[in-house]
Structures are given as structure tokens and as C-alpha cells.
């Protein structure tokens, strides 16, 4: 947290997918007369709309949103790049407003914006592509075994169920010959603004039901057609994303459409659980029931 003497305030609205972050962030931004910076690693891509649950066009008309529809799906945006982009967005917003709202569920992006990231060597893209292809062929068990053998220090930390992170770890050590843990200093950068972090939560059964209903709604809205347009680009890292991967596998004939939809629901629930685990580790976050009718009021009072 920053000090109260700083002239500007960054209000973060975090939490798991389907908790209702976007609606709360829009409500708060309207009351504060300010703008929103997305902290979602997929909503920034123009071609991925239905499957990423972007804020509605009406919400975007009423409130200026940054980092939504900002890049083509062919361009990879790292957390380090997001840190630079986010700081530029905030500088722009703070030139007009006292407060800015950041909303999203990508924990690493929020960490990058609030605390900065450790400097580390580049990963060889050819190596990363090879690791990703091997994972696609051999699956999670192979990936865990490879990390255990090649980077036992990282493996011992127990962060072994997130395939994106594991691919990154294995690619890093194969590129540099060093464990990624050597470059983690945990030193936080000082920001020239006050930071207030809030997150939304729901009982697990309620959240999971919301997720299931939202997947059904996405299918009604045309998620399959959106995925069909992106199918020729399915090899891209950005499209290794829940909601798209399962439909690509359906198109490949791995299973039928009802099974694909159930897999989207299951994998989204798994993702929400990982998000909660990440955010619960951040002791600076204040938690609020997402279904409380006055949740925006409560967050605003807590941010004073």
C-alpha cells in the first residue's frame, strides 16, 4: 500500500472470473468520474471478445476503458510489457483525474502494475515454441516430469498445476541454463500513487453456477463462430485459452460439442480456483461479497 499523502489513488478491483468485477468497476468509475484500465491478459485482443467476457459496448461507451481491444491476437503482450503500458495509462489518467480504477483477474498483471517485476533474461522463442509443442503432444504429466528433472528448485515450491507457468519455467531454464527462481527478488518498486486493492468473492457453489451459466450464455452469443474464425491461428500462445482450446479440439474431432462445452465449464472453474489461490496470498487485498447490493459503496468507503 502507498501512503495517504500521495496525490493520486489507484483502486484495484480483482477476483475470480464470473464474480462480477466489470460491473462493479464500471459502477465505481462512474461515481468517481474516472477511467478503467483492464488487467485481463486476453481482453486486450480485438479478435477475442465473447470468450473473454469483455465489458459490453454500452459500458465502454459510458466509461473510457484502456487495454481492451488494443492489440491483434498475433501479438504477444508479456507481463513486463503490461507494466510499461499500464504505467503509461495511469500517467495519462492521473493527468485528468485523482483516481484510476484497474479491473481484472490476471494476477501477474496486477502484481506487475502495483509492485513491478524482477528483471530477468529473455527466453528463446524457438525453445519456448518447442516446449509448448511438446506439452501439446505429451500433456501435463510430461511437463511436470520435465520441470521436476530440470528445475527441481522451482518444482519443490509446489506451483506445478498451471501449464502456462510450467511452460515458462521449463522454457526459461532451457534457454538460460538457470532456474527462474534465481531472478525472483521479491523487491517491490515504489509507485508515485496510493494503491488500494479490493477483490470480490462468492461461495464456491454460487461462483461455479455463475461460471456454468456464463459459458452457456457465451455459446448462445456465438462463441463457436468466434472460435471458428480463429481456428487457423490456433497454434498461437494467446489462443491457448480456456473457451477456445476446447472448441478447437472439438473442431479437430477429439470430442463432440456437448463434451467441449462441459470441458470449458470445468476448466473455467479450475481457473477460478487458481485465481482465488493467487489473490488470497496478497495480504493487501480487502475482500467483499460480490452479491452484496451495496458492494460498490463498501469498496469506496474502504478506499478512503
Please, what is the Cα angle at 257 between 229 and 274, to 5 degrees?
Answer: 85
Nearest CA to 16 among 276, 193, 231? Answer: 276
**pLDDT confidence band for 214 (50 / 70 / 90):** very high
106-130 tens-digit pLDDT: 999 999 999 998 777 888 889 988 9
- In the block, cell 460480490 appears at 290
pLDDT exceeds 70 at position 186:
no
Q: Which of the residue ranges 75-79, 163-167, 281-285 would you say has the lowest mean pLDDT?
A: 163-167
User: What distance in Å separates the CA atoms of residue 177 and residue 179, rounded to the nearest whole number?
Assistant: 7
More confident: 40 or 157: 40
Q: Which helix (H) or strand (E) holds 12?
A: strand 9-14
User: pLDDT > 90: what percent of the chain?
Assistant: 80
How confident is the model over 281-290, as a mean pLDDT? Answer: 96
pLDDT score for 17: 97
Please check whether residue 159 is in contact with residue 184, taking contact to mean a CB–CB distance below 8 angstroms. Answer: no
State the distance between the two ends of the chain, measured CA to CA, in whole angstroms: 13
pLDDT exceeds 50 at position 47:
yes
Amino acid at each position: 500500500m502507498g501512503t495517504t499523502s500521495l496525490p493520486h489513488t489507484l483502486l484495484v478491483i480483482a477476483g475470480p472470473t464470473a464474480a462480477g468485477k466489470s460491473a462493479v468497476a464500471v459502477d465505481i468509475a462512474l461515481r468517481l468520474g474516472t477511467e478503467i484500465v483492464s488487467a485481463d491478459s486476453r481482453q486486450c485482443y480485438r479478435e477475442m471478445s465473447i470468450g473473454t467476457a469483455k465489458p459490453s459496448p454500452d459500458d465502454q461507451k459510458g466509461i473510457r476503458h484502456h487495454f481492451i481491444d488494443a492489440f491483434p491476437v498475433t501479438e504477444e503482450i508479456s507481463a513486463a510489457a503490461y507494466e510499461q503500458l499500464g504505467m503509461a495509462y495511469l500517467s495519462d489518467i492521473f493527468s485528468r483525474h485523482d483516481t484510476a480504477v484497474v479491473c481484472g483477474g490476471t494476477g501477474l498483471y496486477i502484481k506487475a502494475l502495483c509492485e513491478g517485476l524482477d528483471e530477468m533474461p529473455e527466453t528463446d522463442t524457438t525453445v519456448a515454441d518447442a516446449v509448448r509443442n511438446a506439452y501439446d503432444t505429451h500433456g501435463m504429466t510430461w511437463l511436470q516430469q520435465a520441470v521436476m528433472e530440470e528445475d527441481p528448485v522451482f518444482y519443490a515450491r509446489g506451483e506445478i498445476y498451471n501449464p502456462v507457468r510450467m511452460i515458462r519455467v521449463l522454457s526459461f531454464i532451457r534457454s538460460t541454463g538457470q532456474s527462474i527462481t534465481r531472478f525472483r527478488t521479491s523487491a517491490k518498486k515504489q509507485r508515485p500513487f496510493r494503491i488500494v486493492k479490493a477483490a470480490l468473492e462468492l461461495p464456491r457453489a454460487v461462483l461455479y453456477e455463475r461460471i456454468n451459466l456464463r459459458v452457456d450464455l457465451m455459446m448462445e452469443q456465438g462463441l463457436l463462430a468466434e472460435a471458428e474464425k480463429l481456428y487457423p491461428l490456433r497454434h498461437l500462445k494467446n489462443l491457448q485459452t480456456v473457451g477456445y482450446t476446447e472448441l478447437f479440439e472439438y473442431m479437430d474431432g477429439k470430442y463432440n460439442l456437448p463434451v467441449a462445452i462441459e470441458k470449458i465449464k470445468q476448466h473455467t472453474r479450475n481457473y477460478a480456483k487458481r485465481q482465488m489461490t493467487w489473490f488470497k496470498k496478497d495480504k493487501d487485498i480487502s475482500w467483499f461479497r460480490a452479491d452484496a447490493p451495496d458492494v460498490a459503496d463498501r469498496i469506496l468507503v474502504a478506499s478512503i
